[in-house]
Chains A and B, each alone.
Chain A
Amino acid sequence: MAVLELTNISKHFSAIQAVNDVSLVLEAGQVVGLMGDNGAGKSTLVKMIAGNFRPSHGTMQMDGRELILHRPVEARQHGIEIVHQDLALCNNLTAAANVFLRRELRFGVGPLKVLDYKAMYRRAGEIFKELKSETRPRDLVKQMSGGQRQAVAIARTMLSEAKIVLMDEPTAAISVRQVAEVLNLIRHLRDRGIAVVLISHRMPDVFDVADRVIVMRRGRKVADKPIVASSPEEVTGLITGAIEQV
């Protein structure tokens, strides 16, 4: 089932054509690996879906209706969540506080509301359990491993009923051992019927977890095929330009 449909999307920053006439469809419960060299337009494309940029040309459709986003918060309201490359966590706060940042649970009457620590710890604990992560809700983020931090960042997206989760290099800054943990988190998202877009430079990760691979080069989409029908060699060729297009 198509969740999001991009038709002839382009984005230019004055003279620079960052994304050029890209069309693609995101399906529910599918992981799409988005690959390409630096400056190929991956991040720009994802930022348009996340509401950071508006496309210069082309349209986006969600569930059959045109989607126009002015700000990231609007994307979130439509169920589009982004996990940032730098994770965007507050080190001095607990895991639960980070998960609930800006969506705190409170109790009280009328305007007199106080933070509901108990409920937030419990709910965060449930999410981590669901993600099969060992992250504890009361731990401070600064004491956590890279994999646990990813779990916190991903748990944020699971608070709301996200339909699309965009992940920018989630395995870039963590140890090899923790990569498997993060890839498992991605599989859990997929199994919940979420459409996942995984930007990554790491070929093994994409071939491990993605159902489909999209390759971009110089702002254009040069490949979009099931992962089983491709190979790391082919993708490398597409990224560098040794293979023009498939």
Chain B
Amino acid sequence: MRPTLSATTKNLYNITRNVTFVAIIALGMTIVIITGGIDLSVGSVLCLCSMVLAVVMNAGYSIEVGIAASVGTALLVGAFNGVLIAYLGFPPFVVTLGMLSIARSLAMVASNNTVVFQFGPDHDALLALGGGAWFFGIANPVLYMIVLALLTGFVLRWTRFGRYVFAIGGNEHATTLTGVPVRRIKVAVYMISALSAGIAGIIQTGWLGAVTTNIGAGMELQVIAAAVIGGANLAGGVGTASGALIGAALIEVIRNSLGLLGINAFWQGTFIGGAIVLAVLFDRIRNFRQSE
């Protein structure tokens, strides 16, 4: 069956909304990757933050309290990751792998592994926050994504913090020698990553209208894939906010087109994986040309 025009417009709407959650976290992930690190815990942190929001609101607290608790949780998790990595010298891979397990387990503890779909007195406000379209009919998650992308792009290009993020990824030792507070910046970077996962969690909760303990499972791989396809270099020192968005969009477009073309869904992983390898290949070719 060929897709009709109306199906395509509606589909475009779907794509943009599906992209946003991966894209928002990919923004935080890109900053981590620029410093030469990695954050494997984002999928679980998204789940934990969604669950904290859901449980707090379910207990009868207002949406403000719920969001504050959720954001606070994200920052705490990020600070924990960051301190272990920056001050105790743990490898980012190991620390965030541990957090991947811890955060999801805590989400199960918090909810007793149930589905939460009633959010107390501010139930409707939360659903409007995530599911509404306050400006020009653009879905709210898309607006948040655009605002956060602009903010990330600005910080990376125009602030000292952004400059130091790139410097750390380029040569951490040299950056330390100049007196840049490298360790504090690394902690901040992991807090930003966790915060981006928390924000995505809050929005996704409002959009879905329910939280289970398996949301965000495996999401870290999609997010890292988006960042890498968008041009971030896992060796550090390279990456952009717009790249994170483009990478996330590209993954969703590939996935969606496969569906529209009627290709068996089992092939999705192959195509997305192929896109990652291809992105890195182009990067290698470009570097090869530069060194010629």
Contact = CB atoms under 8 A, between A and B. Distances in A.
Contacts of A115: 157-160, 163
Nearest to A103: B178
Interface centre among A73, A90, A102 (most CB of B within 10 A): A90
B160 A88 contact: no
Given A97-B163, A106-B160, A115-B163, A92 B238 contact: yes
Interface string B167-192: 10111011101111000000000000
Contact of A72 (B160, B166, B177, B238): B177
B31 to A, nearest CB: 15
Interface in A1-35: none
B166 A90 contact: yes
A114 interface: yes
- Chain B interface, DSSP helix/strand/loop, else mixed: helix
B4 interface: no
Nearest to A102: B178
Interface residues of A, number: 22
A92 B237 contact: yes
B290 interface: yes
B160 A73 contact: no
A84 interface: yes
A89 B171 contact: yes
Contacts of B159: 114-115
A90 B290 CA distance: 17
Given A72-B177, A101-B175, A102-B178, A93 B158 contact: no
A50 to B, nearest CB: 10
Contact of A88 (B157, B158, B177, B238): B177
A90 B238 CA distance: 12
Nearest to B34: A92
A91 interface: yes
Contacts of A143: 290
A72 B178 CA distance: 9
Which label, helix, strand, loop or mixed, suits the secondary structure of the A interface?
loop
B170 A84 contact: no
Contacts of A72: 177, 179
Nearest to A115: B158
Nearest to A140: B290
Interface string A71-89: 0110010000000101111
A205 interface: no
Given A101-B180, A102-B178, A114-B158, A88 B173 contact: yes
A72, A73, A88, A143: residue with the most chain B Cβ atoms closer than 10 Å: A88
A73 B179 contact: yes
A104 interface: yes
Interface in A47-103: 72-73, 76, 84, 86-93, 97, 101-102
A89 B290 CA distance: 19
A106 B158 CA distance: 9
A182 B273 CA distance: 48
Contacts of B174: 84, 86-90
A74 B180 CA distance: 14
Given A88-B174, A91-B237, A115-B158, A102 B180 contact: yes
Contacts of B171: 88-91
A198 B179 CA distance: 23
A90 B167 contact: yes
B221 to A, nearest CB: 26
Contacts of B178: 88, 101-102
Interface in B209-262: 237-238
A73 to B, nearest CB: 5
A91 B36 CA distance: 14
A76 B237 CA distance: 27
Nearest to A82: B177
Contact of B179 (A76, A90, A113): A76
A73 B171 CA distance: 19
B243 to A, nearest CB: 15
Contacts of A88: 171, 173-174, 177-178
Interface of A: 72-73, 76, 84, 86-93, 97, 101-102, 104, 106, 113-115, 142-143
Given A86-B173, A93-B167, A97-B167, 16 more contacts: A72-B177, A88-B173, A88-B174, A88-B178, A89-B171, A90-B170, A90-B171, A90-B175, A92-B238, A93-B163, A93-B166, A101-B167, A101-B178, A104-B163, A106-B160, A115-B157
| The 4 residue pairs across chains A and B that have the minimum distance between CB atoms | A90-B170, A92-B237, A88-B174, A92-B170
20 contacts: A72-B179, A73-B179, A84-B177, A88-B177, A88-B178, A89-B174, A90-B167, A90-B170, A91-B171, A92-B166, A92-B238, A93-B163, A93-B167, A93-B170, A101-B163, A102-B179, A104-B163, A115-B158, A115-B163, A142-B290
